[in-house]
A and B are shown apart, each in its own frame.
Chain A
Amino acid sequence: MTPNYLSLLHALLPEASLVLGALVVLGFDLIVGRRHDLAQRTVYATVLGLLAVAAAVYHSYDARLDGEVFGGVFILDSLALATRVGVLLLTALTLALLPGVTRVKQPAEYVAIVLLATTGFTLMAIAQQLLVAFLALELASLSLYILAGFDRSRPESAEAALKYFLLGGISAAFLLFGFSLLYGLTGSIALPEIARQLSVQAMSPLLLAAVLMTVVAFGFKAAAAPFHLWAPDVYQGAPPTSAALIASGSKLAGLVMFTRLLWSGVGPSAGSVATFDVVPGWVPAVALAAVASLLIGNLGAIAQTNVRRLLAYSAIAHAGVLLLGVIVAGKFGPAALVYYAGTYGLATVGAFGVVAVLDAAGVGGSFADLAGLRQRSPLLAFCLVVFLLSLAGIPPLAGFFGKFAVFTAALKLNGLASWAGWLSIFAIAMSAVGLYYYLLVLKNAVVIPGRPDAAPIKVPVAAATALLLATALLLLLGLFPSVVLRAVS
């Protein structure tokens, strides 16, 4: 292998822009920010952060689809491009929620760490080697731990960060152990080579252990049951913008990375649920996690009275569908999965955006606190309706088509003569449960009148723009899903 550092630099320009942006944000705040108040510093940091993200988007397109880079350490394919653009868009929406909304006292540091986390996401999107994948994942995770604990005025934030960190650390240990076993079994850390080696190996207990350990870490990243326990506390305790990033960009990047890892690396040991005779491998394990997530997420969500905890349980439920998307990605490609994860991220960022604005306005987090939202801010109420209905899967919003695409693929595997088929039927049935709890939230926000003396809620311009953009994207992508499907062909 002759390393071509020039092509490597070209391929990694998006990440370079993000890191450079993080440094500029910090430096600018250090030099200029001291003379300004907190609100202005937040605006500066946000604008610089958005510029860095814009540069990264430009360079992502500029890097084109070069294929393997640096001897196959990275891969620039359509999936990588779509994922990079997707996570950058989600990050941009998250950043736009900051000015006038966030309670964070160190805006420059916050934005810089968001950019570093995003660097981790985009690297996860293109990693094709165990070591780089692990480093990218850890870069993202460590940044997210800090973001979860950033609100030092609230003990819940620290609690969220600690829980997230401890469980995340354990899952990282599992992943590293799994990786080392894979390396031991195949003698390589490059995904194509691992796949070549595994295709001539029969399933062995050691291989199964390696694969299952990888699935554990994956389940943690995707907030899938039974590795979901961190999600409600983190979603509730972390600053809303951090939770938005954890639930959206982090999820999209994680799903793509693990889908690549599991299919193009450990694909030969996938096993199968495409008939009733289960072939052991990681697919049955992921299918079990999907069933558990659908069940625990949807039933757990019914009992919630706090919007953020509800979003957490809804995230667990959605993880179930996403895992189904991972299972079908092997045969039908990851287009449906990326569409689902991306549009889910949009709706979740939006929902957390509404939560963030409400939080800044001093509105509590329970359903009852939402009462009268329609009078206090028609914009927020309207956006919340769109986000939650998209999560519930109501057409013509994007959430519906995402579900449709995943379920169709699962049924195409082998109709109802397979566990995968029945899993999708189960997921369709559970979506009726989902509508119930989303409507419970909307009932409070739209139906129940608030106190007559409740003051109107002001939505800062940047946040309003971000929310409306997310709303418009959910509608447009729902009407024209081919845009995404074609991009990830």
Chain B
Amino acid sequence: MNALPWTIYVSFAGAALALLAGNRAASVARTVALATALAGLALALVAAAAFKPGPGLQTLVDVPWIAEFGIRYHLAVDGISLTLIVLTGIAATAGVLFSWNIKERTGEFFALYLALIGGVYGVFLSADAFVFFVYYEIAIVPKYFLIAIWGSTNREYGAMKLVLYSFAGSALVLAGLLWAYAASGANSFAVADLAAAGAQLSPGVQQGIFALVFTGFAVLAGMFPFHTWAPTGHVAAPTAASMLLAGVVMKLGAYGCLRVALPLFPAGFVYWQPVIATLAIAGILYAGCIALVQEDFKFVIGYSSVSHMGFVILGLAAANSQAVGGAVLQMFSHGIIAGLLFAVVGRMVYERTHTRQFSDLRKLPLHKTMPFAALTFVLAGLASMGMPGFSGFPAELTILIGTWKTAPLWAGFAGFGILIAAAFTLRAVQVSFFGSTEPAGPAPAAPHDPHPDFEPITWPEKAGALLLIATTVYIGLKPDVLLDWITPALRSPLFQAVLKGGQL
């Protein structure tokens, strides 16, 4: 348990090592990165095995940091953060496997990648709002370089847009947190202390601060209408970065909403609850419809991420323990599934066919030339649509049931969103992999491969895909593994204040 903070330090140390190793040989940097990611995952799993679920945070480290400002270096874990730490470990490992073919500036790539991972671990472990914010910002800058250097389509634009959205969001968060901190007498950044002080403020002020902090985090969670950075950024990013962005970084935003914004100002939340739910539903439906008409394979996945993250925000807005528990489960589930989808599109398909346009892919019999990719994508698509047996099903179902308890109308709209998701996913599966199933004339004996230049799927790709598929199936079959961690955590007083306050 107490080894969990080492996920952060190991990642940063791995980043430095990878940078140094990159000067010698790319393969060393790769190995260092994989070892680091695996070490993080192992630490997370060991901690998970020893984890005893309970309400409230279990402190890992708590020492004074900046005494003048009452800031403590306080790391702690509960079921919710543990879920996301395991997700980070898995996504990080898979991401390294899918960037095994990075040849240009390999050391720097993995250094930035691992620095980003370290920041993400830090956010999930922070119990002090200041520490939380510091790690949150550490995770911003590596994204710019990852996308701008190793990205594809319109990468400099996408990178800058993504980083400025993230940074503007974090500026809102900082403004809100400082406001709350100053109003609370500026003695402590502990979320509980800030919440106690926040409750003393006038309702108008609480609504104001909540709006700042929640919007700031929701930008990163891809909430409509602040989502536009997500598709462009995801599309521009190299495969591993897309996987991390959609898989983990968007969760930072949702996690910030849940961990900081909601408990801090329950009264402010009640005021904004209908607005948040409306925006969440708008995001689910709008992004889903946009995904339906995209011609670029990766944009479909990018918009689908926004749509699926809408479910997370809807779960938070519904504010009962079932919906919020489902939202956390959906964070985990979407992290795995989005990673898988981006891996297929970005690594398996695009780096072999060098096109992502449906009009081009339609002409290629990819299900024949890349059966493994096709199989993986079909499975990932099924999971993404919320088919039973995959993690998306229990997650979205729990959210919908929870939402129904709060407001049946919201659940109805969101249910319609699942239909749209099925539509755009099936379209992508059909057009991209099974576009030309009817060759003209009688099928020849195919003595020669029409596309011999497609290199076969490599072992790191297979290993990464298997890791992600196994996870989504395992959680699909046994969601209780995670829900048993998450649900007790929601019984802590901080969450109860907002979950009760949030009942309509």
Using CB atoms and an 8 Å cutoff, list the residues of chain A in contact with chain B: 335, 389, 394-396, 400-401, 404-405, 407-408, 411-412, 415-416, 421, 424-425, 428-429, 431-432, 435-436, 439, 443, 446-447, 481-482, 485-486
Contact of A447 with B179 in the complex, beta carbons under 8 Å: no
Flag B128-153 by CB within 8 Å of A: 1 or 0 each: 00000110011011001100110000
**Contact present for B134 and A396 (CB under 8 Å):** yes
Contact A436 B69, beta carbon cutoff 8 Å: no
- What mask results when residues 162 to 195 of chain B are scored 1 for a CB within 8 Å of chain A, else 0? 0110011001001100110111001000000000
Of residues A412, A415, A432, A482, which shows the largest number of chain B Cβ atoms within 10 Å of its Cβ? A432
The reply to whether B171 and A428 contact each other, CB–CB distance below 8 Å, is yes
Contact B186 A408 (CB under 8 A): yes
> Is the pair B145, A447 in contact by a Cβ cutoff of 8 Å?
yes
Q: A408-B182, A411-B178 are in contact. Are A436 and B67 (CB under 8 A)?
A: no
Q: Which chain A positions have C-beta within 8 A of B178?
A: 404, 407-408, 411, 424, 428
Q: Does B160 contact A (CB under 8 A)?
A: yes
Name B's A-contacting residues (CB within 8 A).
66-69, 133-134, 137-138, 140-141, 144-145, 148-149, 156, 160, 163-164, 167-168, 171, 174-175, 178-179, 181-183, 186, 205, 208
Q: In the complex, what residues of A have CB within 8 A of residue B156's CB?
A: 443, 447
CB distance from B237 to the nearest CB of A (A): 14
User: What 5 pairs across the A-B complex have the smallest Cβ distances?
Assistant: A411-B182, A395-B134, A432-B168, A412-B182, A447-B148
- On chain B, the residues within 8 Å of A485 by CB distance are 66, 68
The answer for the CA separation of A432 and B164 in the assembled complex, in Å, is: 7
The contact sample of 20 A-B pairs, CB cut-off 8 A, is A395-B138, A401-B66, A404-B178, A408-B182, A411-B179, A412-B182, A412-B186, A415-B179, A415-B182, A415-B205, A416-B179, A421-B179, A428-B175, A432-B168, A432-B171, A439-B144, A447-B148, A447-B156, A482-B68, A486-B68
Contacts A408-B69, A436-B164; is A447 near B149 (CB within 8 Å)?
Answer: yes
Cβ of B107 to closest chain A Cβ, rounded Å? 10
- State how many angstroms separate the Cβ of B80 from the closest Cβ of chain A: 24
User: Closest Cβ of chain B: how far from A479's Cβ, in Å?
Assistant: 9
On chain A, the residues within 8 Å of B163 by CB distance are 435, 439
**Contact among B133, B149, B181, B208 with A408 in the assembled complex (CB-CB below 8 Å):** B181
CA distance A422 to B425 in the complex (A): 47
B168, closest chain A residue (CB): A432
With the chains together, A436 CA to B157 CA distance in Å?
Answer: 12
Q: In the complex, how many angstroms separate the beta carbon of A403 from the nearest chain B beta carbon?
A: 9
Q: Chain B residues with Cβ under 8 A from A443's Cβ?
A: 148, 156
Closest to B169 in A: A432
Residues of A within 8 A of B141 (CB): 389, 394
| Chain A residues whose C-beta falls within 8 Å of the C-beta of B144 in the assembled complex | 439
Most buried by A among B160, B174, B178, B181: B178
Chain B residue contacts of A421, Cβ below 8 A: 179, 182
| Minimum distance in angstroms from A413 CB to a CB of chain B | 8
Q: Which of A401, A439, A482 has the most CB of B within 10 A?
A: A439
* Nearest-CB residue, chain B, relative to A489: B68
Quick check: A482 and B186 within 8 Å, CB to CB?
A: no
Known: A421-B182, A436-B164, A446-B145. 20 other contacts (CB 8 A): A394-B140, A395-B134, A395-B138, A400-B134, A405-B69, A408-B69, A408-B178, A408-B182, A416-B179, A428-B178, A432-B164, A435-B163, A446-B149, A447-B145, A447-B156, A481-B66, A482-B66, A485-B66, A485-B68, A486-B68
A429-B179 Cα distance, complex, nearest whole Å: 14
State whether A435 touches B148 (Cβ < 8 A).
no
Are B167's CB and A432's CB within 8 A?
A: yes
State A404–B177 Cα separation when bound (angstroms): 11
Query: What chain A residues lie within 8 Å of B205 (beta carbons)?
Result: 415-416
Question: How far, in Å, is B479 (CB) from chain A's closest CB?
Answer: 36
Rounded to whole Å, the gap between the CB of B129 and the closest CB of chain A is 12
Shortest distance between the CB of A327 and any CB in chain B (Å): 15
Chain B nearest CB: distance from A448 CB in Å? 9
Report the bound CA distance from A407 to B183 in whole Å.
Answer: 13
